[in-house]
Structure 1
Amino acid sequence: MSPRGAVRAGQESAVAGPAWATDLLGGLRGAAGASTVALAVRRGCEYVVLVTGDTAWRGGAPAGPDTRFEIGSLTKTFTALLLAEMAARGEVALDDPISRFLPRAAAPHLQDSRITLLHLATHTSGLPRLPPGFLRRGAPSWFSNPYAGYSPADLRRALTLTRPRAAPGTRVHYSNFGVGLLGDLLTRAVDGPTGPAPADGGFDRLLSERVLRPLGLTRTNCAADQPQAIGHWHRRERPAWQMPVLPAAGAVRSSARDLLTALDALLEPAAPPAVPDTLRTALTDVTKPRIALPRTGSRIGLIWNIRPRPGHDLYHHSGGTRGFTAFAGFSPQTGVALTALANTSPALTGAFIQRAYLDLRALAHDASAAA
């Protein structure tokens, strides 16, 4: 049974499923402290999508498998798929320098090295976590919508002021700036340097055309004006998250059912029907290890973090906005995938994400031991 048929009509808001899955959901809700938590799991040939609670603490409707959540940095995994799909078409190459897509005056200052698209997709570009000047610009709305007022002119200015923290390719340093820039460059590669600016929806359109619609992800996009759960920070409502200029870093919304469909495609790239060959290639390419982290044994694919376990690997990523927390992960060797969503901001302890990761690890361990 596919994720699309994993929940019967009339079950959408009920916590109804096998005991092992309802136990996982209960643990996640306890870790989240949210008004609604969604869990979607594949365990071999078994699919479960469970949701509990309402879309808001006060006055919310019952949430279901198709309720949209802001997924924050999980967006980056979709940006990676777009990059790999465009590389499969020959529109870009992973080793293309970013200067290929930028006016000369806008490129970051480098001495004897260059930043490539692969560097951006593996957090090895040397770019800082946030654009220069962003903290000062976003400070007035830091706990609600710090990216909302960030303009294309701000991005151009930041690029000219940027000085990489390390030579490209020499150090892993997580960068929202880098992946947000990657989305901008991919849009430019198709539309040209004078095409639609990110604030005009160019990235959302391209992502939908190349990745989301072919995979059947009908509840997934960057739109901030479509129905979704209400985000909360300490039980206080947060406005819808907006990232008009750097959407590739964290603007996507999705549902538990859609995310499980995407993970299912990553587990079995040859299985989804009517998927273009370029996207099938991309589904495989994003999972290839690209970077090995010293002393840990961990690796990085295109955006995905990879942790080796005895007999199998765990691929995982998390995300958060001012009102939502999200996790997704899968294990190709065991056929296990899990995504968890909550409508509350990430806790400083990371309890929800850690619980989701440990649940994924336990499911994959049990499946590996039973094989």
Structure 2
Amino acid sequence: MRSKFLFFPVFVILLNLLTRNTMAQSIEQRKTDSVFQLVKTQFNAKNADQLYELTGSRLKKDLIIEAFRNICNYQLFVLGEIKESSLISFENNKDAIYKLNFSTGKTLQLLMSLDKNDKLAVFLFQPYKKAEGEKKSLASSSNLLKTIDDRHVDTAARVYIQKANTVGLSIGVLKDGKINYYEYGETARGNGKLPAGGTLFEIGSITKTFTSTLLAYYVNEGKLKLSDPITKYLPDSVTLNKALHGITLQNLSNHTSGLPSLPPDFFAHVTDTLNPYKDYTKRLLFSYLKTCTLNSQPGEKYAYSNMAAGLLGILLEHISGKTYEQMVTEIITQPLQMNSTVQNITPLLKPRLASVYNEDGKQTEVWDFSALAPCGSLKSTVNNLLIYAKANMAYGSTKLSEAIELTHNVTFDKDIKVCLAWHIIKVDGVEYYFHNGGTYGSSSFLAFNKEKNIAIVILSNCGESVDGVGVNILKKIQ
């Protein structure tokens, strides 16, 4: 569910990697290397079916060939050919990790292992991660460690912030009506300045919950219905594509539209690899939609889609006659007095914006958006997002409260529970409304449970995911 430039499918649960086997190359390693060469050959030939034949019965059971083809065609083959590859590690005499350099300039790593029949049991493409190491000294923090919860937060946060690649971390916890803020690290590497409750971060795909709140607002206003087909609001030239006729506004919101994560031509229009969304326009999106096919029938399968959320926001702009940022401001942030939640950073706000760093710890760019802004363009602060979380936990009679309440209705419940953008996760048996986000240089986490009166917001100015921090804190304080 994490929003990134490209989503990598998790085919199976990752195995726990044990101590590194430093012995000479084993028979198992040679077998694995041989299968990897077959993988590389079929990948470069863009032959999804032959790749599928290399998988074992367990993977075939978990992933039907149609889904595998879609993943290959829309997420993997667009990376280009594997130009260079090298073995990073072979652990537990079973689990191999290969570094892959693609013709598009992207670098990933591939985790794979074989079953007893020498077929693929694990086949997982991941962002390439160098050995992180640890910071040489303890990162600064505002955590005074006075309470048990303070110490629980610190334990979870230290695992993250002491990594060499991470820079700053801002945490807000609402529990039993009381809010505590915890700041770690720096707003820019080497500046010695702790983040604060008002430091601005990219929030990535948490933006999608704002987009779906706008959808719910206009539903309650009677301007549209969740069941409306998207063709009702698209240009006539696009509606000629019959594949789109079964998609509803709800399908766009809960990731069951059948549309891919991103348009297949998305990468062809990237002019700045560090800022990939800025040049993908509405014209390009509509041009793709005119001839697109779907990966599944609308409403049948969950498949996370940045494009669907972006398209939803475009349709809401058409319905309202306002820009996305105007809608967010007028309907959500102004009523809640969230004055530091914006799409575009003004000169006045810029000094409060944290510098951003990728998963390798190298400085990168804050993302700009064009057509797909409603999928991940907002910037916010930990204190603003706690206001937002509180509003999501306190139903009322205002138009905004009623819209928020509507976004909490479960709209899809097959293996995963999804509402309108919000996902429901369980942490040690307790259900939370949840969304996270990620750009090249930022990571975010928001979860809340009304009955427990708990909400947590975590913002980082590094692309390293903070999901583990959030879940570990919830386990301890709930």
The two structures have a TM-score, normalised by structure 1, of: 0.83
Deviations 1:47-95 (A, max 9, x none): 1122223210033643210101001111111111111111111122111
Aligned to 1:290: 411
Say whether residues 1:121 and 2:271 are aligned partners. no
Aligned to 2:228: 96
Which residue identity lines up with residue 27 of structure 1 in the other structure? A
Say whether residues 1:318 and 2:436 are aligned partners. yes
Aligned to 1:133: 265
Residues 60/176 of structure 1: CA separation in 2 closer, same or farther (3 Å cut): farther
Deviations 1:100-125 (A, max 9, x none): 11112123733595111100011000
Alignment map for 1:1-371 (pairs within 5 Å): 14-16=142-144, 18-19=146-147, 20-25=149-154, 27-32=156-161, 33=163, 34-59=166-191, 61-107=193-239, 109-111=241-243, 113-138=245-270, 141-142=272-273, 144-191=274-321, 202-225=323-346, 226-227=349-350, 228-233=353-358, 234-270=360-396, 277-294=398-415, 298-308=416-426, 312-346=430-464, 350=465, 352-364=466-478
Please identify runs of 4+ aligned residues in structure 1 that moved more than 6 A: none
Which residue identity lines up with residue 141 of structure 1 in the other structure? D
In structure 2, distance between residues paired with 1:25 and 1:97: 48
Listed as ranges, the gaps of 5+ residues in structure 1 are 1-12, 197-201, 271-275, 365-371
Q: Compute the displacement of 1:286 (Å).
A: 1.1
Does the 8 A contact of 2:230 with 2:245 survive in 1? no
Q: Compute the displacement of 1:313 (Å).
A: 1.8
Does the 8 A contact of 1:113 with 1:168 survive in 2? no
Which residue identity lines up with residue 330 of structure 1 in the other structure? F
Q: Compute the displacement of 1:215 (Å).
A: 1.3
SS at match of 1:83: helix
Q: Compute the displacement of 1:280 (Å).
A: 1.1
Does the 8 A contact of 2:356 with 2:462 survive in 1? yes
Q: Greater CA radius of gyration, 1 or 2?
A: 2
Q: Compute the displacement of 1:203 (Å).
A: 0.4
Does the 8 A contact of 1:25 with 1:39 survive in 2? no
Q: Compute the displacement of 1:308 (Å).
A: 4.7
In structure 1, distance between residues paired with 2:220 and 2:264: 33
Tell me whether 329-338 or 151-160 shows the greater mean CA deviation: 151-160
Residues 216/108 of structure 1: CA separation in 2 closer, same or farther (3 Å cut): farther
Q: Compute the displacement of 1:245 (Å).
A: 1.5
Q: Compute the displacement of 1:22 (Å).
A: 5.0
Residues 235/111 of structure 1: CA separation in 2 closer, same or farther (3 Å cut): closer
SS at match of 2:374: helix
SS at match of 2:242: coil
Deviations 1:223-257 (A, max 9, x none): 14442101101222212211121111000001000
Tell me whether 244-253 or 231-240 shows the greater mean CA deviation: 231-240
In structure 2, distance between residues paired with 1:38 and 1:74: 16
Residues 29/251 of structure 1: CA separation in 2 closer, same or farther (3 Å cut): farther
In structure 1, distance between residues paired with 2:240 and 2:421: 22
In structure 2, distance between residues paired with 1:169 and 1:222: 30
Identity %: 27
Residues 55/101 of structure 1: CA separation in 2 closer, same or farther (3 Å cut): same
Which residue identity lines up with residue 58 of structure 1 in the other structure? G
In structure 2, distance between residues paired with 1:89 and 1:210: 12
Does the 8 A contact of 1:132 with 1:161 survive in 2? no
Aligned to 2:39: none
Q: Compute the displacement of 1:168 (Å).
A: 0.5
Tell me whether 71-80 or 59-68 shows the greater mean CA deviation: 59-68
